[in-house]
């Protein structure tokens, strides 16, 4: 799918966590095509640097950081430095995440804690770094990647679905707090998207998921990123506390 940049994010300073591959990379590219300068943060630093190089090739400023979004020191340092180098952060895309499939009966506390730390705690850690600057400037966009599983749940996914549902609660609550500063807070809830993450899970799980999907196929990264550009842009100014469901009809709400 071809995206045509119309400069809808011209001059905006954006951060994408988990931007080293998959959905995050697609969003970072879409931001850059619309004229934004972008900081790509990923615990896979080489991937982040590679994506930043791709963005630079599009004519914008792009910087890369290797950091762990679940680690307070690591992510605070990276975001503070990103903010310093970009001059400010207008758009924070909380996208980094992990997925594992484990029945609750077999789940260790460590597995549960890691899932909540990477997929939910991270959203709090990242947001609180960039929020003061957004409040000062009276403009900001906080966007987080939840999942259709936040609505629907899924077998062997209690930890993942709980974390992603937590992201929606965070989004709706913060939206109330910061609306007065012209800052919007929204979430996206993609259905199954063809990325490395979608390789997690058994062939049976995938077969069942395909049967459940009205559109009968997994989505593509290019079917997620345009909505994020809309939310991040000035055109998205009246969305807040919302969740956007590009999910192939998996959950119809
Ligand atoms: N692919 C799907 O079907 C799907 C569906 C719904 C939601 N999501 C969500 O979309 C987001 C992106 O997923 P994806 O499919 O692109 O997966 P992916 O595994 O391809 O990419 C995730 C990226 O996040 C990075 N990351 C993971 N843990 C990190 C950490 N602790 N610190 C910093 N970076 C970290 C990884 O290195 C990777 O580059 C995730 O939040 C995921 O839960 C994915």
Q: Establish whether residue 24 lines the binding site of ligand 1, counting it when its CB lies within 6 angstroms of any ligand atom.
A: yes
Q: Are 21 and 45 in contact (CB under 8 A)?
A: no
Mutational test site, ligand 1, from 16, 17, 19, 24, max ligand atoms within 8 Å of CB: 24
Q: Smallest Cα–Cα separation from 93: which of 22, 158, 194, 157?
A: 22
Q: Establish whether residue 151 lines the binding site of ligand 1, counting it when its CB lies within 6 angstroms of any ligand atom.
A: no
What is the token pair recorded at 147? Answer: 């999942």
In a domain, 202, yes or no: yes
pLDDT tens digits, 165-211:
999 999 999 999 999 999 999 999 999 999 999 888 889 989 999 99
Q: Establish whether residue 140 lines the binding site of ligand 1, counting it when its CB lies within 6 angstroms of any ligand atom.
A: no
pLDDT tens digits, 41-53:
999 999 999 999 9
Q: What is the mean pLDDT of the chain?
A: 96
Task: Flag whether pLDDT at 4 surpasses 80.
Answer: no
Structural domains in the chain (count): 1
pTM, full prediction: 0.98
The single-letter DSSP state of residue 245 is: -
From the CB of residue 35, how many other CB atoms can be counted at a distance below 10 Å?
17
Q: What residues pair up with 93 in beta bridges, in sequence order?
A: 16, 143
In a domain, 142, yes or no: yes
Q: Establish whether residue 204 lines the binding site of ligand 1, counting it when its CB lies within 6 angstroms of any ligand atom.
A: no
pLDDT tens digits, 44-80:
999 999 999 999 999 999 999 999 999 999 999 999 9
Question: Known catalytic residues?
Answer: 160
Q: Domain range spanning residue 220? A: 13-243
Local structure of 107: helix, strand or coil: coil
Q: Smallest Cα–Cα separation from 41: which of 99, 100, 81?
A: 81
Q: How far apart are the CA of 187 and the centre of ligand 1, in A?
A: 14
Atom of ligand 1 nearest to the CA of 146: 7
In a domain, 2, yes or no: no
pLDDT tens digits, 114-173:
999 999 999 999 999 999 999 999 999 999 999 999 999 999 999 999 999 999 999 999
State residue 202's pLDDT score: 87
In a domain, 7, yes or no: no
What is the token pair recorded at 101? Answer: 């499939």
d(CA 189, CA 156): 19
- φ, ψ at 158 (rounded to 5°): -60, -45
Task: Flag whether pLDDT at 7 surpasses 50.
Answer: yes
In a domain, 8, yes or no: no
pLDDT band at residue 1 under the 50/70/90 scheme: very low
d(CA 141, CA 235): 12
In a domain, 5, yes or no: no
The CATH number for 112's domain is 3.40.50.720
Q: Are 183 and 139 in contact (CB under 8 A)?
A: yes
State residue 17's pLDDT score: 99
Q: What residues pair up with 62 in beta bridges, in sequence order?
A: 38
């Amino acid at each position: 799918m071809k995206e045509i940049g119309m400069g809808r994010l011209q001059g905006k300073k954006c951060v994408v966590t988990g931007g080293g591959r998959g959905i995050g990379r697609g969003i970072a590219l879409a931001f850059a095509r619309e004229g934004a300068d972008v900081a790509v943060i990923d615990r896979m630093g080489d991937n982040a640097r590679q994506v930043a190089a791709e963005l630079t090739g599009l004519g914008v400023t792009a910087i890369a950081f290797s950091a762990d979004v679940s680690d307070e020191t690591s992510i605070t340092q990276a975001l503070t430095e990103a903010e310093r180098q970009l001059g400010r952060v207008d758009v924070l895309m909380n996208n980094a995440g992990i997925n594992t499939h484990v029945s609750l009966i077999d789940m260790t506390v460590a597995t549960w804690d890691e899932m909540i730390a990477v997929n939910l705690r991270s959203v709090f850690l990242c947001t609180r770094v960039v929020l003061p600057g957004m409040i000062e400037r009276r403009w900001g966009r906080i966007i987080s990647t939840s999942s259709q599983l936040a609505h629907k749940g899924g077998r062997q996914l209690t930890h993942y679905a709980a974390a992603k549902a937590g992201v929606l609660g965070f989004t709706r609550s913060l939206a109330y707090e910061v609306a007065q500063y012209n800052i919007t807070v929204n979430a996206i809830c993609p259905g199954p998207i063809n990325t490395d993450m979608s390789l997690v899970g058994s062939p049976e799980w995938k077969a069942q998921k395909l049967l459940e999907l009205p559109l009968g196929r997994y989505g593509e990264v290019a079917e997620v990123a345009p909505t994020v550009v809309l939310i991040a842009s000035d055109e998205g100014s009246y969305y807040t506390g919302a969740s956007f469901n590009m999910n192939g009809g998996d959950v119809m709400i």
